[in-house]
Amino acid sequence: MHPSLDERCLRYFAEAVGCGSVRAAADKLNVNASAVSRQIVQMEGQLATPLIERHRRGVRATPAGSLLLDYYRRQTSDRQDILAKLTELKGLRRGHIDVVLGEGFVGDLMSGLLQGFWARHPDLTMTLDLAATNDVVRRVVEDEAHLGLVYNPPPEPRLRTHLAMPHPIRVLVRADHPLAAHPVPVRLADLSGHRLGTMHPAFGIRQIIAAAEQAEGVRLEPALITGSIGVLKQFAASGTGVTLLPAFCAAQEIAEGVLVALPLADPGLDGVEARIVTRLGRQLSPAAAKLLQHLARGMAGEGREARRGALSSR
C-alpha cells in the first residue's frame, strides 16, 4: 500500500525548502518552528526517505525531496487552474494572471497590447514582475508564473515555447555618434575605443554576446554593467557611450530618430529569439490562456514593426 501525502505536510515542506530554513517557513506560515519540523519528519517517516538536508545556512531538498517538491508545485498550479476553469464555466469572467518578463518587453506591452487586452477582458487582473533571463525560466518552470516573456533562454526541457520571434542584437548609438557613420555590419572589435554599456551576465542578451566574443576572439571591456535596459538606452541616447541590445527594446527611440540600430557582423548575434513560454504540460487557466493568445498575436505584429523601423533607421 502506498503512503498517503498529507496536504499540510507537503505545504510545510515546500515552504521550508522555498524559504531556505525551517524558521523562516514557520514565520511565513505563522506557526512554531517545531510544528514545521514535526510535519517534515512525519512525512519522511511515511515515505521512508530523507526529504531535506541541513547545511550551515539552512535546509535544501534531497533528490527525493526535489521530486516531491515538483509534484507539489504541479498539484498546486493544476488545482488553481481547474478552479479558475470551473469559475469560468459558471459565467464569472474574473481571474488573475502572473507574468514574469525581461525589461525589454515592457515597451511592447505598454504600447497598446495590455490596453487592448483589458478592453476585451476588463475584470481580469495580473501581476507583471521583471526578472533576468535565468530567473524568468526558473519562475515559469516552478509555476510561480503562468507565462514568461524571455530573450534567448537557455535550453530547458520543461519549457514550452508558444511564440519565437527573431530579434537580432544590434549596436545602439545616438544618431550623431561617430560610430553611426561606421560601415556596416559592425564587428565586435570595432567597439574598442568606444565606451560600452552591457547587461549583467545573468541576462540572455549578455550571454549571447559572450558567446560571440569567444567566437571572434574578442574581449569586450564594458564601462557600464547594469541590470536595466532603461539605463542602457539612456546611456546611449545621452551620447555617453554605445550599447548592445535587440532593436525591439528601443523601438520607440529608433522610430523617433534618437537612436540608430547598427547590424553586427557575427552571425551568432542574428539568430537569437524572444519567446513566450509556459511550463511544459501546464494546463493554463482561462484568464492566462486568453492573455497568451492575445500576446502571441499582438507581439508577432509588434516584432515585425520594430524590425521594419530598425531597417528604415539605417
Residue 310 has pLDDT above 80, yes or no: no
Taking residues 161-177, report their average pLDDT: 92
Taking residues 176-183, report their average pLDDT: 90
> pLDDT of 197-218, one tens digit each?
999 988 888 888 998 999 889 9
The predicted pLDDT at position 311 comes to 45
Residue 149 has pLDDT above 90, yes or no: yes
Q: What domains, with CATH codes, occur in the chain? A: 1-92 (1.10.10.10), 95-166+273-312 (3.40.190.10), 169-269 (3.40.190.290)
Strands across the sheet containing 242-246 = 224-226, 196-199, 242-246, 169-174, 259-262
The predicted pLDDT at position 306 comes to 46
Highest mean pLDDT among 2-6, 22-26, 170-174: 170-174
The predicted pLDDT at position 93 comes to 60
Taking residues 14-21, report their average pLDDT: 89
The predicted pLDDT at position 177 comes to 93
Largest CA distance in the chain: 75
Q: How many CB atoms lie within 10 A of CB 142?
A: 16
> pLDDT of 214-231, one tens digit each?
988 999 999 999 989 999
> pLDDT of 249-308, one tens digit each?
888 899 899 999 999 998 888 878 889 999 998 888 888 888 999 999 887 765 555 445
What pTM value is reported for the model?
Answer: 0.66
The predicted pLDDT at position 278 comes to 96
The predicted pLDDT at position 301 comes to 67
% of the chain surpassing 90 pLDDT = 34
The predicted pLDDT at position 307 comes to 47
Taking residues 234-263, report their average pLDDT: 92
Q: Provide the β-strand partners of residue 159.
A: 279
Could you tell me the pLDDT band of residue 86, with boundaries at 50, 70 and 90?
low
Could you tell me the pLDDT band of residue 4, with boundaries at 50, 70 and 90?
low
